[in-house]
Amino acid sequence: MAKTLEAHDKLIREIFEGSYQFEIPDYQRPYAWTTEQAGELFDDLISAMQDARVSGASSQYFLGSIVLIKADRDPKSFVVDGQQRLSTLTILLAVLRVLMPNSASFLTKYLYKEGNPEWGESNEYRLKAREEDADFFRTYVQEQGGLERLVSSTDKLKDSRLRYRENATLLLKKAKALSPADLNALWKFLANDCSLVVISTPDLEAAYRIFSVLNNRGLDLAPIDIIKAQVLGLIRTTAGEVKSRAYAKEWSRIESSLGRDAFGDLFGHIRSIYAKKKQKYILVKEFQEHVTEYKTPIDLVDKVIKSYAEVWDFVRDADFEATEHAETINEHLSWLNRVDFKDWVPPALVYFKRFRQQPKLLAEFFQSLERLTYFLLVTKVGINERIETYAALTKEIEPETFKGDLAALTTLALTDAQKRKFVAALNGDVYEDLPKARMALVLRLESLVRAPGVQLQNAVSLEHVLPQTPPDGSDWLQWFPDENEREAWTHRLANLVPLDRNKNSSASNYDFAKKKSVYFKGKGTASPFILTQEARSENEWTPEILIDRQERLVGVLKKHWALEMSPTESVCEGSERHAFAFDAADY
Question: Per-10-residue mean pLDDT for the chain, 587 residues long?
Answer: 70 91 84 92 91 75 86 85 94 97 92 82 90 93 96 92 96 96 94 90 66 50 78 87 88 89 93 90 84 93 95 93 94 94 96 95 97 96 92 96 93 95 96 92 92 69 89 90 92 90 62 77 66 88 95 96 75 41 33
Cβ-contact 141, 164 below 8 angstroms = yes
User: Which residue among 385, 413, 441 closes a domain?
Assistant: 413
Does 478 reside within a domain?
yes
Task: For helices 223-239 and 241-258, give the axis angle rounded to 10 degrees.
Answer: 150
**∠ at Cα 211 (207, 212), nearest 5°?**
120
pLDDT at 205: 60
pLDDT at 159: 86
Does 486 reside within a domain?
yes
Domain co-membership, 322 together with 279: no
Edge-to-edge strand list for the sheet holding 21-23: 6-11, 194-201, 61-69, 76-81, 21-23, 127-128
**127-128 and 21-23 as β-strands: parallel, antiparallel, unpaired?**
parallel
Task: Look at residues 308, 408, 396 and name the one whose alpha carbon lies nearest to residue 352.
Answer: 308
Task: For helices 416-426 and 359-378, give the axis angle rounded to 10 degrees.
Answer: 60
Does 120 reside within a domain?
yes
DSSP letters for 495-526 = GEEEESS---GGGGGS-HHHHHHHTSEETTEE
Which domain does 453 fall in, by range? 430-586
Cα 226 to Cα 28, 284, 353, 408, distances in angstroms: 9, 7, 26, 39
- Side chain identity at residue 119, one-letter code: W
Cβ-contact 58, 189 below 8 angstroms = no
- Note the residue count of the chain: 587
Cβ-contact 480, 468 below 8 angstroms = no
User: Which residue among 317, 339, 367 closes a domain?
Assistant: 317
Domain co-membership, 457 together with 555: yes
Domain co-membership, 188 together with 114: yes
Does 420 reside within a domain?
no
Name the strand (E) or helix (H) holding 195.
strand 194-201
Does 52 reside within a domain?
yes
Domain co-membership, 52 together with 135: yes
Domain co-membership, 310 together with 188: no
Domain co-membership, 247 together with 142: no
Task: Look at residues 319, 390, 388, 405 and name the one whose alpha carbon lies nearest to residue 354.
Answer: 405
CA dist 351 and 348 (Å) reads 5
User: Which residue among 262, 296, 317 closes a domain?
Assistant: 317
**76-81 and 21-23 as β-strands: parallel, antiparallel, unpaired?**
parallel
Domain co-membership, 291 together with 174: no
Write 233-236 long-range contacts (CB < 8 A, 24+).
233/204, 234/297, 235/297, 235/298
If one counts the domains in the chain, the total is 4
Domain co-membership, 528 together with 493: yes
Does 279 reside within a domain?
yes
Domain co-membership, 88 together with 232: no
Does 525 reside within a domain?
yes
Does 422 reside within a domain?
no
**∠ at Cα 373 (371, 378), nearest 5°?**
90
pLDDT at 218: 41
Domain co-membership, 61 together with 185: yes
CA dist 539 and 547 (Å) reads 16
Task: Look at residues 16, 19, 10, 129 and name the one whose alpha carbon lies nearest to residue 74.
Answer: 19
Domain co-membership, 122 together with 210: yes
Domain co-membership, 116 together with 127: yes
pLDDT at 583: 35
DSSP letters for 126-170 = SEE--HHHHHHHIIIIISTTHHHHHHH------HHHHHHHHHHHH
